[in-house]
Amino acid sequence: MSDVPGEIPIPLVNYIQLIRDRRRPYYDIVNFLVKDMEMHYDRMGQIHDTVYTINPRVLQGEIEKVVKNEKLTTVNVCRTILAMLYGSRLREEKDFYVTTTSNGRRNYHIKVNNRTLSSLATFM
């Protein structure tokens, strides 16, 4: 675990390890997101920074079509997204940012470019 930064909260460190160990459904979520980001980036013509937005509830619905798992909850999806972002060493505000709706729901926005895709692929 020495390559996980010390400022990451313990629950996220656990999720990072679950992803690295390729445990379901955590790894499936990250794999789905990275592949979708790559397709999105290619469709956009590899513009310098393309923003990819993740709505956890929509993502959960998409993943449930492919993966059946009782651990697939909105909370676990959100934590897996954060673990993916911090575990791949993406920087908040520079590489990604989080917005909150008036209802308190969060959306995650990732600036997709060659460097962020490379960091995410290396993390997996």
CATH number of the domain where residue 88 is located: 1.10.10
Tell me the pLDDT band of 53, cut-offs 50, 70 and 90.
very high
Task: Confirm whether 3 is domain-assigned.
Answer: no
Percent of the residues in the chain that have a pLDDT greater than 70, as a whole number: 93
Tell me the pLDDT band of 1, cut-offs 50, 70 and 90.
very low
Q: How many domains does the chain have?
A: 1
Task: Confirm whether 107 is domain-assigned.
Answer: yes
Give me 114's structure tokens: 């060659």
pLDDT in tens, 60-116: 999 888 888 788 888 999 999 999 999 999 999 999 999 998 888 899 999 998 889
Closest CA to 50 of 123, 111, 114: 111
Task: Confirm whether 36 is domain-assigned.
Answer: yes
Task: Confirm whether 124 is domain-assigned.
Answer: no
Range of the domain at 55: 10-119
Task: Confirm whether 93 is domain-assigned.
Answer: yes
Task: Say if residue 8's pLDDT is above 90.
Answer: no
The structure's pTM equals 0.86
Task: Confirm whether 83 is domain-assigned.
Answer: yes
